[in-house]
Structure 1
Amino acid sequence: MASVDPALMGKLAMAPDRGRSLTRRVWAEAFRQPEFKIGLVVFLILFLLACFYPELSSIDPLKMNVRGRLLPPLFLGPNWSFTNPLGTDQLGRDMLLRCLVGLRYSFLIGVSTVIVMLLIGCTIGMVAGYKGGWISTILMRLTDAQLSIPMIILAIAILGVSRPTIPAIVLVLGLAGWPTYARVTRSVVMAESRKEFVRGAKVLGASDIRIMALLLAPLVLPPIVFVSVLDIARMMIFESILGFIGLGVQPPTPTFGNLIADGRKYLLNAWWIATMPGIFLCVTLTSVNLMGAALERARNRIFGGLA
Structure 2
Amino acid sequence: MAIGTDIDPAGTAVARKRGPGTSLFAKAWRTADFKIGFAIVLGLLLLSVIGPYLLNLSPTQFNVSKKFLEPGLLDGANMPYLFGTDQLGRDLFSRSLIGLRNALFIGVVSVIGMFIVGSAIGMIAGYVGGWVGLVLMRLTDAQMSIPVVILAITILGVTRPTPLTIILVFILAGWPAYARVARSVTLSERRREYVRAAKILGASDLRILLVHIAPNILPPIAFVAVLDVAKMMIFEAALGFIGIGVQPPTPTFGTIIADGTKYLMNAWWITTVPGLLLALSLCGINFMGGALERSRNKILQGVE
TM-score, normalised by the number of residues in structure 2: 0.93
Alignment correspondent of 1:278: 275
Structure 1: how far apart are the matches of 2:190 and 2:138? 21
- Which letter maps to 1:53? G
How far did 1:118 drift? 1.0
Structure 1: how far apart are the matches of 2:231 and 2:139? 23
Structure 1: how far apart are the matches of 2:288 and 2:118? 22
Alignment correspondent of 2:266: 269
Alignment correspondent of 1:179: 176
Q: Gapped runs of 5+ residues in structure 2?
A: 1-6
Alignment correspondent of 1:13: 14
- Which letter maps to 2:11? M
Contact in 2 for aligned 1:30/1:36 (Cα 8 Å):
yes
Higher helix share: 1
Change (3 A) 1:176 1:104: same
SS where residue 13 of structure 1 aligns?
Answer: strand
Structure 1: how far apart are the matches of 2:23 and 2:162? 39
TM-score, normalised by the number of residues in structure 1: 0.93
Contact in 2 for aligned 1:72/1:80 (Cα 8 Å):
no
How far did 1:22 drift? 2.1
How far did 1:7 drift? 4.7
Alignment correspondent of 1:206: 203
Q: 2:223 aligns with which of 223, 226, 233?
A: 226
The answer to whether 1:57 aligns with 2:55 is yes
Alignment correspondent of 1:81: 78
- Which letter maps to 2:197? G
Structure 1: how far apart are the matches of 2:54 and 2:33? 31
Contact in 2 for aligned 1:105/1:255 (Cα 8 Å):
yes
Q: CA RMSD in A?
A: 1.6
How far did 1:8 drift? 7.2
How far did 1:105 drift? 0.4
- Which letter maps to 2:230? A
Structure 1: how far apart are the matches of 2:48 and 2:100? 6
Q: How much identity, in percent, do the aligned residues show?
A: 54
How far did 1:57 drift? 3.0
Structure 2: how far apart are the matches of 1:118 and 1:221? 9
Q: 1:216 aligns with which of 213, 217, 226?
A: 213
Contact in 1 for aligned 2:19/2:215 (Cα 8 Å):
no
How far did 1:55 drift? 2.7
How far did 1:151 drift? 0.8
Q: 2:116 aligns with which of 119, 135, 157?
A: 119
SS where residue 113 of structure 2 aligns?
Answer: helix
Structure 2: how far apart are the matches of 1:244 and 1:33? 36
Contact in 1 for aligned 2:72/2:80 (Cα 8 Å):
no
How far did 1:131 drift? 1.2
Structure 1: how far apart are the matches of 2:174 and 2:77? 44
Structure 2: how far apart are the matches of 1:80 and 1:281? 27
